[in-house]
């Protein structure tokens, strides 16, 4: 079963953190699914990924196109997790324990200044940990990522 990493965004916004994490996942050779709850946010992230530096280009597509199965990075709202090595949940998008088991890594990114997002992430942590998923909680401290908690067997 894969691991789920919770990223508590406080110093860097989603628009900065997501491309960094996608770059690391692609560096590991992983195919990435970014799952959101709404098209507006995913379109904004799509534009952000296209506007990145040429040296850190992240080829990707929005779900629903003719070449979804060939996209190294796919952004979608209800796209199935099959065939992806890394799942990234933004804006509280649902992730199941079985999906965590299909992937090498699952990342849940949430806004540390939004009480609703914090509570939702806590619920996801409990649900996924109770289902036997290995979980790690990462927080930003003085601009660096620090692992603050871990549950489940490695």
Region for residue 29 given its phi and psi (left: phi exceeds 0; alpha: psi -120 to 50; beta: otherwise): left
Residues above pLDDT 70, as percent of the chain: 95
The pLDDT, as a whole number, for residue 2 is 84
Domain-wise residue ranges, the chain: 3-151
Give the residue-averaged pLDDT of 39-63. Answer: 86
For the chain, the average pLDDT equals 93
Q: Which residues contact 118 (CB under 8 A, 6 or more apart)?
A: 8, 110, 111, 112
Residue 153 pLDDT greater than 70, yes or no: no
Rounded to two decimals, what is the model's pTM? 0.93
Residue 19 pLDDT greater than 70, yes or no: yes
pLDDT in tens, 57-94: 788 999 998 999 999 999 999 888 889 999 999 999 99
| Residue 82 and residue 31 in contact, taking contact as beta carbons nearer than 8 Å | no
CATH homologous superfamily, domain 3-151: DNA polymerase III subunit chi (3.40.50.10110)
């Amino acid at each position: 079963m894969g691991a789920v990493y919770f990223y508590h965004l406080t110093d860097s916004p989603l628009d900065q953190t997501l491309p960094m994490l996608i770059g690391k996942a692609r560096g590991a050779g992983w195919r990435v699914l970014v799952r959101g709850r709404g098209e507006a946010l995913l379109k904004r992230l799509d534009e952000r990924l296209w506007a990145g530096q040429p040296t850190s280009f992240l080829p990707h597509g929005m779900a629903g196109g003719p070449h979804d199965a060939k996209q190294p990075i796919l952004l979608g709202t209800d796209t199935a997790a099959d065939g992806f090595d890394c799942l990234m949940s933004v804006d509280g998008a649902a992730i199941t324990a079985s999906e965590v088991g299909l992937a090498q890594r699952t990342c849940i990114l949430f806004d540390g200044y939004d009480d609703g997002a914090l509570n939702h992430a806590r619920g996801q942590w409990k649900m996924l940990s109770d289902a036997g998923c290995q979980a790690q909680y990462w927080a930003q401290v003085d601009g660096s990522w620090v692992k603050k908690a871990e549950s489940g067997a490695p």
